[in-house]
Amino acid sequence: MASLFDDLLLPTNVPIPDGFNLRALRNDDFGYLELLKQLTSVGFINQLVFRKRFDAMKKAKSYYIVVLEEVQSSKIVGAATLLIEFKFIHEAGTRGRIEDVVVDERMRGKKLGGLLNQVLVEMAKTIGVYKLSLECKTELIPFYQKFGYQKNLHFLDQRF
């Protein structure tokens, strides 16, 4: 069993509610894929593909996927990703991106999404990014604004 990053990098100043455990994604967390299906299309990924992608992310050393585990069931009920992008601009600075924030439907309303956001904002500050950004649906803008994000730029995409 391997962790994507050292759990010691998790912030200690964000309180985790009783009954939950916050940790880095591990290479046997296949349940993470089930949770991601509540966010968007995942398709079929077998354990080998999961492990290969996990290994590539670990090797890249810029993926911080945090998961929230329900202690009683050992199930992953929340997850979010901090991706660190290396730049030449801003004195060879780094930019952070928040990706794939998802909380299990049956756990909504417990402010776990907010908790995951706080955790990643703290980690991004510790790493020292010059900017942290994310893309989200229009209706989620007020939610993310609570965590310090401002609506500045437009986001454009192409689908293939």
Determine, following the binding rule CB under 6 A, whether residue 143 of this chain makes contact with ligand 16G.
no
Does the protein bind ligand 16G through residue 136 (CB under 6 A)?
Answer: yes
**Does 76 engage in binding with ligand 16G (CB under 6 A)?**
no
User: What does the alpha-carbon distance between residue 74 and residue 86 come to, in Å, rounded to a whole number?
Assistant: 34
From candidates 13, 40, 72, 74, binder to ligand 16G by CB under 6 A = 40
In this structure, are residues 36 and 53 in contact, taking their beta carbons and an 8 Å threshold? no
**Which one, 91 or 137, has the nearer CB to ligand 16G?**
137
β 94-103/75-86 pair status: antiparallel
**What letter would DSSP give residue 126?**
H
- Least distance to ligand 16G from the beta carbon of 108, Å? 14
The tokens 């991706």 sit on which residue? 83
DSSP letters of 43-101?
----HHHHHHHHHHHHHHT-EEEEEEEETTTTEEEEEEEEEEEE-SHHHH-EEEEEEEE
Of 10 and 103, nearer to ligand 16G (C-beta) is 103
The CB-of-60 to ligand 16G minimum distance in angstroms stands at: 17
SS3 147: coil
Class of residue 93 by CB neighbours under 10 A (exposed 0-12, middle 13-18, buried 19+): middle
- Position among 24, 98, 112, 121 found at the interface with ligand 16G (CB under 6 A): 98
- Shorter beta-carbon distance to ligand 16G: residue 71 or 141: 141
141 binds ligand 16G (CB under 6 A): no
101 binds ligand 16G (CB under 6 A): yes
Q: Give phi and psi for 109, each to the nearest 5.
A: 90, 0
Stretch that binds ligand 16G, among 20-28, 95-103, 118-126, 148-156 (CB under 6 A): 95-103
135 binds ligand 16G (CB under 6 A): yes
Residues lying near ligand 16G in the complex (CB under 6 A): 39-41, 98-101, 134-136
